[in-house]
């Protein structure tokens, strides 16, 4: 690390940064790792990151602002790529990565995967005595060691390897969440179909809320990848290694021409401006050749699409269960209405008999009172009359399809 960078961002170990060092005003914890696997935990504020990487301050808002903490974006800038996918918030250049909050529980697997992907490799250098030593951030190898340092060769550029690791962990995390949801949802829905109770309905309501939030998370990541796949120009901007190589070639040509005395200053300036334009145009023309990135994004897009389909299947099962429960409740409601109608018919028939009995119970002269044994006959006939009225009204209700047969 350069002295100027060390003055701006003091590197500390993970243990000391948590136990002994307090955060300054607006400072956040970052982990820096380069292509050689050398890593350190530093503490920087927003202005330091802007000066260090040349990233616009408004681009950092997507990572640092709590309003955009749950958004999923992959943005390309002149020298860096902003990766904000779920719990992974990082700034990637062609040579290094700055990872925000590396000590979080969700981010630790990403850090471990980075260490596996980029094992520690240090360039050879000579010490003061002229002996060959290999510098290691965790341990030092013996001096005079003749083993060659392993040279890492990857098919994908450094920034795409980081992006691939991030997408893999995010997709794996989302799939794990969907699998946990499926294990809980299906037995719960089957239990609700067997027994409609307040407890089961509350559990299904909570599961449905979790499913909606999970679907929104998957949809955001999927939409971001789809947006990149639909725009070749955006994908071309993500080729940071290519742009860095073109910039270095341009500077080398300008430097070689500046050392030549036959080229004047004015012509050198004109060549510099023309060369810069040609490099920019070349980056766009080469940006059309984005097969590597396109294949990478398509693979994870299909994986996210499959995860989204699983969530939609669970939601469809929930909707079917809700429809089934509603049918059950409607059927029970219809049965209650039919029972109420039958009881109303019975009450009406009894009311008719009560009315007749009440009329004869008045203190009015009647010849029937003088007949012996008329009471039993009258009561029997009145009850039979009430029963006949009940069955007649019941038959009428069934004829009108008010009561099921």
Residues 247 and 136 in one domain: no
Residue 179 inside a domain? The answer is no
**Whether residue 11 has pLDDT greater than 70:** no
- The token pair at 17 is 């940064």
Residues 383 and 356 in one domain: yes
Tally of domains in the chain:
4
Residues 109 and 137 in one domain: no
Residues 147 and 81 in one domain: no
Residue 181 inside a domain? The answer is no
Residue-wise pLDDT for 291-350, tens only, equals: 888 899 999 999 999 999 999 999 999 999 999 999 988 988 999 999 999 999 999 999
d(CA 182, CA 315): 10
Residues 128 and 16 in one domain: no
Residue 192 inside a domain? The answer is no
Residues 6 and 106 in one domain: yes
List the Cα angle 334/338/339 in 5-degree steps. Answer: 115
Residues 132 and 245 in one domain: no
Model-wide pTM > 0.75: no
What percent of the chain has a predicted confidence (pLDDT) above 90? 30
Residue 220 inside a domain? The answer is no
Q: Which domain holds residue 283?
A: 241-287
* 108: CATH: 2.40.128.330
**Whether residue 187 has pLDDT greater than 90:** yes
**Whether residue 144 has pLDDT greater than 70:** no
Residues 20 and 48 in one domain: yes
H-only helix segments in 195-239 = 198-229, 232-237
Nearest Cα to Cα of residue 304 among 211, 165, 167: 167
With 0-12 CB in 10 A as exposed, 13-18 as middle and 19+ as buried, what is 212?
exposed
**Are the beta carbons of 53 and 61 closer than 8 angstroms?**
no
Residues 46 and 89 in one domain: yes
Residue 182 inside a domain? The answer is no
Last residue in a domain, options 93, 119, 145: 119
Residue 162 inside a domain? The answer is no
**Whether residue 193 has pLDDT greater than 60:** yes
pLDDT of residue 147: 40
d(CA 65, CA 51): 19
Residue 219 inside a domain? The answer is no
- pLDDT classification of 2: cutoffs 50, 70, 90: very low
Residue 252 inside a domain? The answer is yes
Q: What mean pLDDT is reported for the chain?
A: 77
Residues 105 and 144 in one domain: no
d(CA 365, CA 379): 19
Residues 274 and 357 in one domain: no
d(CA 273, CA 279): 10
pLDDT of residue 258: 63
Residue-wise pLDDT for 39-87, tens only, equals: 889 888 888 888 887 777 777 777 777 766 677 888 888 888 888 888 8
Residues 59 and 23 in one domain: yes
């Amino acid at each position: 690390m350069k002295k100027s960078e060390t003055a701006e961002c003091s590197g500390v170990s993970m243990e000391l940064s948590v136990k002994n060092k307090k955060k300054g005003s607006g400072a956040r914890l970052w982990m820096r790792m380069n292509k050689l696997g050398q890593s350190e935990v530093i503490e920087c504020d927003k202005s330091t990151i802007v000066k260090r990487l040349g990233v616009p301050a408004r681009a950092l808002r997507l990572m640092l602002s709590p309003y955009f903490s749950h958004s999923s974006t992959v943005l390309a800038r002149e020298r860096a790529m902003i990766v904000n996918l779920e719990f992974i918030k990082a700034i990637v250049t062609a040579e290094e990565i700055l990872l925000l909050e590396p000590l979080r529980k969700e981010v630790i697997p990403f850090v471990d995967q980075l260490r596996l992907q980029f094992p520690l490799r240090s360039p050879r250098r000579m010490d003061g005595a002229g002996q060959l030593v290999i510098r290691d951030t965790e341990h030092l190898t013996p001096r005079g060691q003749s083993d060659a340092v392993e040279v890492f060769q990857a098919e994908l550029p450094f920034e795409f390897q980081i992006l691939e690791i991030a997408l893999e962990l995010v997709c794996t995390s989302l799939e794990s969440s969907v699998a946990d949801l499926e294990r809980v949802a299906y037995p719960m829905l089957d239990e609700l179909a067997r027994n409609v109770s307040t407890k089961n309905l509350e559990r299904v309501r909570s599961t449905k809320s979790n499913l909606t939030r999970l679907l929104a998370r998957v949809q955001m990541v999927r939409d971001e990848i789809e947006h990149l796949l639909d725009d070749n120009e955006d994908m071309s901007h993500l080729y940071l290694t290519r742009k860095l190589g073109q910039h270095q070639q341009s500077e080398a040509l300008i430097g070689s021409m500046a050392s030549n005395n036959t080229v004047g200053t004015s012509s050198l300036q004109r060549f510099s401006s023309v060369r810069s334009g040609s490099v920019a145009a070349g980056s766009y023309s080469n940006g059309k050749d984005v097969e590597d990135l396109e294949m990478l994004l398509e693979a994870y897009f299909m994986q996210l699409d499959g995860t989204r389909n699983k969530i939609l299947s669970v939601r469809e099962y929930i909707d079917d269960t809700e429809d089934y429960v509603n049918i059950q409740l409607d059927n029970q409601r219809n049965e209650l209405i039919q029972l109420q109608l039958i009881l109303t018919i019975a009450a009406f028939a009894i009311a008719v008999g009560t009315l007749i009995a009440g009329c004869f119970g008045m203190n009015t002269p009647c010849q029937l009172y003088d007949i012996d044994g008329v009471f039993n006959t009258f009561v029997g006939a009145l009850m039979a009359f009430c029963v006949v009225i009940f069955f007649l009204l019941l038959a009428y209700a069934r004829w009108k399809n008010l009561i099921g047969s």
